[in-house]
Amino acid sequence: MDRNGATRPRRRRMPWFALVAIAPSVLIVCLFTLLPLAWAVRTSFERNNGVRARWVGLENYTRLLGDRQFWDILLNNVIFLLAVPAVLTLALIAAALIYEQVPGHRIFRIVLFVPTIVSTVVVGILFRAFFALDGPVNRLVELFGAAPVNWLGEGSTAMLVIISALVWGGFGYGMVVLLAGMSSIDPSLHEAAKIDGARWSQRVRLITLPLIARPIRFVSVLNVSYTFTSLFGYIFVMTSGGPGFETTTLDYFVYNRAFVASQFGMASALALILLLIVLALTLIQFRVTRVDDGAERA
Confidence at residue 231, expressed as pLDDT on a 0 to 100 scale? 93
Q: Which domains does the chain have, with CATH numbers?
A: 16-65 (no CATH), 81-248 (1.10.3720.10)
Give me the residues of the chain with pLDDT under 50, please: 291-298
Confidence at residue 165, expressed as pLDDT on a 0 to 100 scale? 94
From CA 42, how far away is CA 276, in angstroms rounded?
16
Q: Which CB contacts under 8 angstroms, 24+ apart, belong to 147-156?
A: 152/128, 152/238, 152/239, 153/243, 154/243, 155/243, 155/244, 155/246, 155/247
**83, 239, 74: which is closest to 151 by C-alpha?**
239
Confidence at residue 290, expressed as pLDDT on a 0 to 100 scale? 65
**151, 112, 103, 147: which is closest to 130 by C-alpha?**
151
Question: Are 52 and 59 within 8 A, CB to CB?
Answer: no
From CA 109, how far away is CA 4, in angstroms rounded?
66
From CA 213, how far away is CA 236, in angstroms rounded?
35
Confidence at residue 2, expressed as pLDDT on a 0 to 100 scale? 52
14-48 residues labelled b (16+ CB within 10 A) or e (exposed): eeeeeeeeeeeeeeeeeeeeeeeeeebeebbbbbb
- Give the CA count within 13 Å in the CB-facing half-sphere of 81: 13
**163, 162, 173: which is closest to 118 by C-alpha?**
173
From CA 118, how far away is CA 263, in angstroms rounded?
32
From CA 83, how far away is CA 78, in angstroms rounded?
10
Confidence at residue 140, expressed as pLDDT on a 0 to 100 scale? 93
Cα dihedral 191, 176, 107, 169 sign? positive
Confidence at residue 193, expressed as pLDDT on a 0 to 100 scale? 86
From CA 46, how far away is CA 4, in angstroms rounded?
61
Confidence at residue 298, expressed as pLDDT on a 0 to 100 scale? 42
> 3-class SS at 53?
strand
User: Running DSSP on this structure, what letter comes out for residue 81?
Assistant: T
> 3-class SS at 15?
coil
Confidence at residue 13, expressed as pLDDT on a 0 to 100 scale? 63
Q: How many other C-beta atoms lie within 10 A of the C-beta of residue 184? A: 9
Residue 100 burial class via C-beta count within 10 angstroms: exposed 0-12, middle 13-18, buried 19 and up: middle
From CA 256, how far away is CA 260, in angstroms rounded?
5
Residues 6+ apart with CB under 8 A from 23: none
From CA 295, how far away is CA 298, in angstroms rounded?
5
